[in-house]
Structure 1
Amino acid sequence: MSFASLGLIDPLLRNLQDLNYRTPTPVQVKAIPAVLSGKDVMAAAQTGTGKTAGFALPLLQRLVQHGPAVSSNRARVLVLVPTRELAEQVLQSFIEYGKGLDLRCLAAYGGVSINPQMMKLRKGVDVLVATPGRLLDLNRQNAVQFDQVQTLVLDEADRMLDLGFARELNAVFAALPAQRQTLLFSATFTDDIRAMAANILRGPVHISVSPPNATASKIRQWVVTVDKKNKPDLFMHLVAENNWKHALVFVKTRNGVDYLAAMLDEAGYAVDTIHGDKPQPARLRALERFKTGEVQMLVATDVAARGLDIDDLPLVINVDLPIVAQDYVHRIGRTGRAGASGVAVSLVCADEAPQLAAIEALIRQTLRREEEPGFEAEHRVPQTSATGEIIKKPKKPKKPKVPQVAPGAMQVPGKKARPQSGADKRKPAAPRAVAAGKGTSLSSGSPFSAQKPRSKPAGGRGKRQP
């Protein structure tokens, strides 16, 4: 099977040849003809299998062949994505695939000034890639209207719902023309996504090229059990012991990202970070430095779980498991892309047993466990299964206490033995304290240390726009 056999035009085929795209992936084989024919599509494929090309290539061809010139403050193709990084990634793909075509493409997202985006929209664009919040901001300021949208693409819609964009998505759907093509491409489809798809898709072509929520078969995955407070020291030990030089590291919180990055920097590694508090230009700069090899270790929260297309990334390390099981699939999908092999290691503490069980149920396999000598967990991680069950270890039956009788003492039934002479009545020594854990780099301020729960502040925590 070749790209030419899928019906793509010569300019696109030349660009694919320049990009060294030789053979279409299974999702591209099924999606490209369906999109070219104007049908709605709902496609599920594991990350790294070429979903973006599966919708970008045929949409570029339809824009060239059929679409009229776009008007001021309008877009013909609208692609909604959950994060700024994914917006930039998808935009770059449209630019590379459409090189030499007379088409205008733009990415719009928060975290940067809205004015340059408004200026570029004045002439209209053929392809607008946007996050939902910034898109509605532009619409409210009359910088973009939706009446000429021919195709809507929802890329990673499950993540948009996870980030709380359901209301924004419904507002966009209500403003779009009823007669349009709608495409859903994602690695995972939750029940909420399927319910949403039933309302916005019309007779869609269903595409599934791998088991739902499957992880790439060439990614070697295992977990190392450890106490929470010892995670940073274990992480540094594994990096040094295995001579890991290039890895994407996921941590749950922004404080945890900064803490781990400081440890890596002190150990002499070139490190950078990505999290929600960093300005967008700094996040893009960190990603670019990591791609070029200038940075060895990129430590990030889940804002980097999707939209990062990094060639030959050998290793993903989960210092913390994600709260949402589907994010595990996307995290480790940053390695093992396009048929390459990869490694994914997760450090798991006892508190994370429910997340581990949910992940194993999602990917339908039980992850291999290891222990690192010197870092064995005092709080054992319960056994889990691929059905999502936490298997509690049975308690060992207590042995009956046998009364100790001193030599020469007389034992009377029902009474304690009394020695014939004065016995040593010294109190037993207090047990020795058990060491808290290996390593000296941890302090009470470590975000990985076990701390007493603090009282919740009054009022809820606001959501941050990606």
Structure 2
Amino acid sequence: MFRTALTKAASYGLRPVLTSRTSAVAMTRSMGHGPVESDAEFDARYENYFNRADIDAWEIRKDVESYREEHQITVKGTNVPEPILQFSELNIPEKLMKEIMRQKYEAPTPIQAQGWPVALGGQDFVGIGQTGSGKTLGFILPALMHIAKQPKREPGDGPTALILAPTRELAQQILKVAEIFGKTFNIRSACIFGGAPRGRQMFQLQRGVDIVIATPGRLIDFLESSVTNLDRCSYLILDEADRMLDMGFEPQIRNIIERINPERQTMMWSATWPEEVQALARDFLKSYIQLNVGSLSLSANPNITQHVKVCDEDEKEDKLKELLMEIRKEDEHKTIVFAQTKRKVDWLANMLRRNDWPVAFTHGDVSQNRRDLALDRFRTGRAKILVATDVAARGLDVDDVKFVINYDFPNCVEDYVHRIGRTGRSGRKGDSYTFFTYENASLSKDLIKVLQENDQKIDEKLMEMSKFSRRGKNSKFQQRSDRGYGSRSGGSYGTYRKSNRQFSDRDGYDRNNSFNNTGWRNRDDNRGKYNRSLHDEDW
């Protein structure tokens, strides 16, 4: 047993740790050695096999199945290595370990714990997990180890590692992680995306880089103009593969992959596992191991407490101000406010500035320089509030975002899950607040499913709305093509609004569209307009 364990550990760079002399003697006997007569003799013989100062990883490994069950980890494939539960189990250079500690990582996340042994062993890999799961470092660290083992890059060589991402925001976030840890090996990285001048990006590629992080369209542009090549590439990452396919990048992805050496190592990361992503994996990955953390369907991060309030459109401005006043009382109050349109983002940002809130904003019409400036102000805390469209929902990676507010509900529940996933990252707790109007009634059933999966409190009005909603199939829970806001003649929306008036006394909803007993703001509450607690039952 111990011989097998040692062989498996060595295959992905791990070192067994034995603190018990009894277990050590058992190991030596199983390997064909006689009894050890003294600790000194044993230490001299097997000093390369164990380190008594480290954590007893083999004892922890007895609970591997319990660990997987606790973190909802499922794995498919052959020769699946066991997870690593402590950074000390990684056989990586000391300078890289010091950088991990400097960045205040305490322990591997579940997707890192199971994914690193697979990636470091050179196997193809599909990782499916929620946002904020630590996947970026999950593929950057193996990439650095892979690059460090390759021959020195020569002038004219293309990158060794290629990471494809759906948006420039996500690509820039990946670049930051690559630069932080890549400096320990003097590894160069470049970020290639559309919407920015080609000149600087072209210069970086021609100078030579080890890692290219790119959106598919701009990379195709540079490949077809011979600015760079993928002849040397042997490590490929497809990040947020489902999102790239949703955005129509499949032809570009296939074009790019066909230019890469088929002997490469390929890893694919996705939040969901639809048929389109499965087909891509079948076509381009070899004997891959599939790792799922959580459900295969889209689900919200369980570290996020979700608060949903049904209200009218004209009530949202006052409710936002009330909520921000309460959030300001918290020790950590960095907040993202999502709106559905660029015009709404502009309006919200101006309204909040007029009320002396430190706010930054971003959307698709904001220039790249202004967008970078806004995100930098938000990350550094000079602006505590960021107002954004969905352009930031998947690209923004700021660990200390405590609150997410959906001022407007998105067009599908999938986008809702990705929005609220900007909080509760890296094991932290977070809160999301959502204003859900009657115009969103067709999405009520799907939203309730997300809430129920994580045992969240559900607004009675939302439950009532779902009973009158004719359809609720606006997400990957059902067919993506089945979208809409009810029928043109009014449909479920009109029916529910009429019915809701009939229960005004019971539900605390009066004919003037103001909440009474069950709303955020109780008009009979003597504590004042902005004096509700975030922990009140109204949420």
Q: Output the TM-score relative to the length of structure 1.
A: 0.78
Counterpart for residue 38 of structure 1: 122
CA separation of 1:88/1:224 partners in 2, compared to 1, >3 Å: closer, same or farther?
Answer: same
By relative contact order (CA 8 Å, sep 6+), the higher-ranking structure is 1
Query: Does 2:220 correspond to 1:131?
Result: no
Matched to 2:341, the amino acid is T
Higher deviation after alignment, 9-18 or 336-345: 9-18
Query: Does 2:176 correspond to 1:88?
Result: no
Query: Does 2:425 correspond to 1:340?
Result: no
Q: Is the 8 A contact 2:444 2:472 kept in 1?
A: no
Counterpart for residue 457 of structure 2: 368
Q: Is the 8 A contact 1:27 1:49 kept in 2?
A: yes
Q: Superposition RMSD on alpha carbons, in Å?
A: 2.9
Measured against aligned partners, the alpha-carbon deviations of 1:172-216 in whole angstroms (never above 9, x if no partner) come to: 123222221111123333332222222111111111122233322
Counterpart for residue 199 of structure 1: 283
- In the TM superposition, what are the counterparts of 1:43-442 in structure 2 within 5 Å? 43-72=127-156, 74-212=158-296, 213-240=298-325, 243=328, 245-361=333-449, 365=453, 368-370=457-459, 381-383=465-467
Aligned residues: percent identity?
A: 35
Q: Is the 8 A contact 1:44 1:185 kept in 2?
A: yes
Distance 1:308 1:393 in 2: 36
Matched to 2:384, the amino acid is Q
Distance 2:264 2:399 in 1: 35
Deviation, structure 1 residue 153:
0.4
Q: Is the 8 A contact 2:336 2:386 kept in 1?
A: yes
Distance 2:279 2:255 in 1: 16
Measured against aligned partners, the alpha-carbon deviations of 1:72-131 in whole angstroms (never above 9, x if no partner) come to: 151110000111111111011011112231311111111111011111111321100011
Q: Is the 8 A contact 1:150 1:180 kept in 2?
A: yes
CA separation of 1:129/1:307 partners in 2, compared to 1, >3 Å: closer, same or farther?
Answer: same
Measured against aligned partners, the alpha-carbon deviations of 1:195-244 in whole angstroms (never above 9, x if no partner) come to: 22221111111111222333222211021111234333332333235547
Matched to 2:266, the amino acid is T
Q: Is the 8 A contact 2:242 2:274 kept in 1?
A: yes
CA separation of 1:53/1:243 partners in 2, compared to 1, >3 Å: closer, same or farther?
Answer: closer
Measured against aligned partners, the alpha-carbon deviations of 1:340-370 in whole angstroms (never above 9, x if no partner) come to: 1110111111221233433444575375344
Counterpart for residue 8 of structure 1: 92
CA separation of 1:119/1:393 partners in 2, compared to 1, >3 Å: closer, same or farther?
Answer: closer
Q: Is the 8 A contact 1:28 1:50 kept in 2?
A: yes
Q: Is the 8 A contact 1:42 1:206 kept in 2?
A: yes
Higher deviation after alignment, 289-298 or 360-369: 360-369
Matched to 2:446, the amino acid is A
Distance 1:337 1:13 in 2: 22
State the secondary structure of the residue aligned to 2:306.
strand
Distance 2:447 2:91 in 1: 39
Task: Give the counterpart of 2:105 among 21, 24, 38.
Answer: 21
Measured against aligned partners, the alpha-carbon deviations of 1:128-172 in whole angstroms (never above 9, x if no partner) come to: 001111111111221111121101101111121222222222221
Distance 1:166 1:191 in 2: 13
Distance 1:281 1:394 in 2: 45
Distance 2:189 2:446 in 1: 39
Q: Is the 8 A contact 2:312 2:513 kept in 1?
A: no
CA separation of 1:351/1:70 partners in 2, compared to 1, >3 Å: closer, same or farther?
Answer: farther
Q: Is the 8 A contact 2:309 2:459 kept in 1?
A: yes
Higher deviation after alignment, 277-286 or 346-355: 346-355
Q: Which has the higher helix share?
A: 2
Distance 1:260 1:231 in 2: 11
Q: Which runs of 5+ in 2 are unaligned?
A: 1-84, 479-485, 487-491, 500-510, 516-539
Matched to 1:217, the amino acid is P
CA separation of 1:395/1:436 partners in 2, compared to 1, >3 Å: closer, same or farther?
Answer: closer
CA separation of 1:285/1:358 partners in 2, compared to 1, >3 Å: closer, same or farther?
Answer: same
Counterpart for residue 456 of structure 1: none
Deviation, structure 1 residue 31:
1.0
**How many equivalent residue pairs?**
395
State the secondary structure of the residue aligned to 1:149.
coil
Q: Is the 8 A contact 1:157 1:184 kept in 2?
A: yes
State the secondary structure of the residue aligned to 2:404.
strand
Deviation, structure 1 residue 393:
7.1
